[in-house]
Amino acid sequence: MTWWQYIIPQHALSMLMFRLARIENTGFKNKFIHWFVNAYGVDLSEAVRENVEEYQHFNDFFTRALKPTARNIAASDIICPVDGSVSQAGNISHATIFQAKNHYYTVAALLAGDYRADQFDAGFFATIYLSPKDYHRIHMPYDGKLLAMDYIPGDLFSVNQTTVEGVTDLFARNERVVCYFQTEFGLCAFVLVGAILVGSMQTVWAGQINPPYQKKVQHFDYENQNIELKKGEELGRFNMGSTVIMLMPNQQNRLKLSAAQTVRMGEALI
């Protein structure tokens, strides 16, 4: 049942959550975080700060850092950028990506018609969903030089499996941030997809991108700024959970992922 998501004020509810998640009242934030940890089974033993009382507010907890020993960065040239579960992964065929069941969407729609879209007419993709209990910082899956970033306004449908199977073109409709990197594999696109109550995303080079919510695509050119990130370094974070999509060009080493697979940041993907 997804009909109700078409009629609720998606951005208003996400803005409300944005504000609630930053309330610093000790009693409120401690009770909220304790409830969340118990409800979703969050493993705080992996976090740098294991005690709920140490967090300034809920979003501080939600975007918590992990201990340096909590994740190993594999020697592979491509690693998993997040903790989560694989929604779908496979070939990009005729510039089309598989969403779920009978749903497909085009690369051009996902990238909002960017001129680089035709470079992904074929290749590989991976869509990874971050659940509420997961670690929500996003790391570089490969060494790359940042070329550009697009903020693309849109809807804020949920990205849970039921909604993914029920809403046409979901990932090409939701608000998102697309990062383009030049890598040893060629041009790669890395997409952060927003969702209901997940209306805020940020990157390490630009800080918080939204809110405020915009009505037009915002383009940022970094080609001359020499921003290079190494595999495993932090790329950004979701202020609340959502989905990342990796687009890679055709190459001999395809991503070793399958639908419903549980993944952790730092694992080898090829």
Phi-psi region of 258 (alpha: psi -120 to 50; beta: other; left: phi over 0): beta
Asked if residue 83 has pLDDT above 70, the reply is yes
Q: Which of 90, 81, 205 is nearest to 143 (CA)?
A: 81
CA distance 155 to 180: 22
Of 11, 83, 136, 158, the active-site residue reads: 83
Name the least confident of 93-107, 222-236, 239-253: 239-253
Q: Is 118 left (phi over 0), alpha (psi -120 to 50) or beta?
A: alpha
Looking at residue 31, its pLDDT comes to 97
50-70 residue pLDDT tens: 999 999 999 999 999 999 999
Give the pLDDT of residue 199.
67
- Catalytic residue flag (residue 114): no
Give me the residues paired with residue 174 across strands.
155
**pLDDT of residue 11 exceeding 90:** no
Judge whether 266 and 233 are in contact, CB under 8 Å. Answer: no
Q: Which of 14, 158, 200, 242 is catalytic?
A: 242
Q: How confident is the model at residue 27 (pLDDT cuts 50, 70, 90)?
A: very high
- Where does the pLDDT of residue 37 fall: very low under 50, low under 70, confident under 90, or very high at 90 and above? very high
For the chain, give the mean pLDDT.
Answer: 94
34 is catalytic: no
Half-sphere exposure of 11 (CA within 13 A, CB side): 11
Residue spans per domain, the chain: 3-62, 84-263
pLDDT in tens, 122-156: 999 999 999 999 999 999 999 999 999 999 999 99
**pLDDT over 70 (residue 3):** yes
pTM of the predicted model as reported, rounded to 2 decimal places: 0.95
- Segment 157-170, tens digit of pLDDT: 999 889 999 999 99
In the set 11, 57, 136, 139, the catalytic residue is: 139
Local confidence band at 250 (pLDDT 50, 70, 90 cut-offs): confident
Q: Is 94 a catalytic residue?
A: no
